[in-house]
Structure 1
């Protein structure tokens, strides 16, 4: 009974995942002006804008499409030919129009013109019957059954997709390949984007050594800085590698002060647990403010968030994330908390990753009262249905479980054990665009 009570007290000051996310978003929103980040714009050629964050709304300089045009290969005519008293429509073909041609033909009653997709619609035509619904005759006539097309169909109107002066894409958008193509279709050659924010990374631990060093007894290679570097660079931000810091207050204090002077955000890994050599939280309290440092989740329970302001004369503070030391926990906490915060700090909007429900191919043990992010593989079962299974052992130090996975299996705070066939939410790692 005493053990159960102690466990409840231990859990009482843990934030849920949703509470932690909200706390991060609130601090960023409320303290933005006092933080070191001051977003500046830069103008880049269109082909260099992929993955960057748009700094201003882009208004379309033209109508899209620029003119009424045919949506089909077929025959253009006046829709008034489709009278109720006619079972079949017969029209005289007076010519052909291809896309890109500007010649205007006067199509009179009883006439039509053969037209290709994208070609300008003649002024007297408002309807196109698809070619596959028609019959051509040797006397220059084309015929089709009344009812296969309605008046006004298969015509794209000028400005139907986008009108001149209207927003084509909005400020805060993370630019994707389709956005670059859209801008090119409008004749836009360059865009104003936000400059990349600077993110300092460091690892804390006496047991760590760099991959360029020989592995001495009792040491392990530091993988966290390499994982974090590419995670951040993939978001289009600048990384400043501050290396490995030993587990003592003096070294940590010096490293945090140096990083705060040159970066907008600091991300450390290790040193946020409750061990005797875990000094990150102590340094945060000394140099700044701790927002929280314990989350009801697995992996990644000890994660610190707050701000550093090591110089009292300095008007701004630096955002700080203290991630766990285990490699999987580092990547989980980065993608569940840090990713969205970095994008928000760099001016992005709509940064959430969608959850996709699929059936579990296996039973999964889960304790209620915490959120779990298990590494999973989404695949098609023999019946062609998409299902998910875990990658096996889910230990926070088994980085192979991340390497083999293509998704997170998100088991929510109040969720219990999962039975085979139950629905679970997943976050897919890689998207098409």
Structure 2
């Protein structure tokens, strides 16, 4: 089915997001979950530190036994044992004695301070102490970092290395999270060749599948780049269905316009679940979306011109990927910037202009051609021009999407 007139960017995106459900949640190991938003509040099953332990190499003592120690008044104590990290046998300290203790080792009952080696003669059987610690000095108290039951990582937090360290420290080996979406990427076009192969006079290299696969990876997905498929509906259908077993989402480029060789539309238009039509945007007007296969895998069909394809990814595919992952916001946030150069924009079409953004100032980059990959590669932002704006002048305030910004 098709709609007669162009629909807005917002309407097409809403159609996509309303139709896609987040992937299921399951336990994943800490390292596998790095970069994923977790789907639970993780609470501490134990305190950190789990027991009182020494912050220094030195001697565990009762404070009142060494409170008078000074350079001109040394305190002498018998050393009754030694405690290394993970080697504790001594659980209590008798008054008037000292225990040699290593950093991280548990402080025995009866000890309420640690005298660093530097304040002693480092004696073995007896120790001579020339400086008094404060009460509790150099003792890390149980729970002073994290209390049992405290929320360590909240639901929706994207797990990073520091979170992993904290969770491992309290004994968590896994967390509940949605998996990285598996995304099959195909390009269509009989003229396409793999980079590294020889080119014929009428052929070009397939940049789209590489670019889109890289964009999938940058968005947290797992790309499966199939490469290019010739302009043959039967061949495209076969290649597509061969890939569905490993796909949470399919992204194609090319074959969705009004030409005689638009094989994606030819192959999918009669499936009953596909919409093909025009979106009121520049670049990227021809778009398609639907579901395919027994498992109803969502498919986004993008235009074939490289710039159109990439901008369509940012506007439609990226939010779909974030929806699958349960990550919010779905859309790339915008920033307000001051425009350095004016330009015109077509009436009735929301425009996305390649640009260079720096310190809230934005400069358009290159021309409007949707084949100009060189300009796209130098841009770090897109100026988002509303459909009812036809002219912009230097100094105007505009909204920009920062392409390299994490969110």
1:335 to 298, 311, 314: 314
Give the TM-score normalised by the residue count of structure 1. 0.67
1:388 to 362, 370, 388: 362
Cα offsets for 1:181-204 (capped at 9, x unmatched): 664676645433333332111111
Cα offsets for 1:262-300 (capped at 9, x unmatched): 322111110000111112123222335113432111111
**SS of the counterpart of 2:392?**
coil
1:297 aligned partner:
281
* Residue pair 1:284, 1:307 contacting (<8 A) in 2 also: no
Structure 2 unmatched ranges of 5 or more: 52-67, 70-103, 114-132
2:183 to 186, 199, 204: 199
- Distance in 2, Cα, partners of 1:325 & 1:281: 13
Question: Shift of residue 241 of structure 1?
Answer: 2.4
1:14 aligned partner:
6
1:319 to 298, 302, 306: 298
1:210 aligned partner:
194
* Residue pair 2:249, 2:299 contacting (<8 A) in 1 also: yes
1:39 aligned partner:
24
Question: Shift of residue 359 of structure 1?
Answer: 0.5
* Counterparts of residues 245-394 of structure 1 (less than 5 Å): 245-309=229-293, 314=294, 316-380=295-359, 386-394=360-368
Question: Shift of residue 64 of structure 1?
Answer: 8.7
* Residue pair 1:53, 1:347 contacting (<8 A) in 2 also: yes
Give the TM-score normalised by the residue count of structure 2. 0.71
**SS of the counterpart of 2:390?**
coil
Cα offsets for 1:48-91 (capped at 9, x unmatched): 53312324332244679999xxxxxxxxxxxxxxxxxxxxxxxx
- When residues 65 and 428 of structure 1 are mapped into structure 2, their CA distance, relative to the original with a 3 A threshold, is farther
- Distance in 2, Cα, partners of 1:256 & 1:388: 40
2:18 to 7, 17, 26: 26
Q: Highest CA radius of gyration, 1 or 2?
A: 2
- Distance in 1, Cα, partners of 2:221 & 2:355: 28
Structure 1 unmatched ranges of 5 or more: 1-9, 33-37, 68-93, 105-112, 122-156, 381-385
Question: Shift of residue 349 of structure 1?
Answer: 3.7
* Residue pair 1:203, 1:224 contacting (<8 A) in 2 also: yes
Alignment RMSD, CA only?
3.6
1:416 aligned partner:
390
- When residues 278 and 12 of structure 1 are mapped into structure 2, their CA distance, relative to the original with a 3 A threshold, is closer
Cα offsets for 1:129-155 (capped at 9, x unmatched): xxxxxxxxxxxxxxxxxxxxxxxxxxx
Count the aligned residue pairs: 334
- Distance in 1, Cα, partners of 2:15 & 2:136: 57
Question: Shift of residue 432 of structure 1?
Answer: 6.6
* Residue pair 1:64, 1:163 contacting (<8 A) in 2 also: yes
**SS of the counterpart of 1:403?**
helix
Runs of 4+ in 1 over 6 A off after TM superposition: 63-67, 113-121
- Distance in 2, Cα, partners of 1:409 & 1:360: 9
Question: Shift of residue 422 of structure 1?
Answer: 0.8
- When residues 185 and 279 of structure 1 are mapped into structure 2, their CA distance, relative to the original with a 3 A threshold, is same
Cα offsets for 1:187-245 (capped at 9, x unmatched): 64543333333211111111111113101111111101111111112233222222211
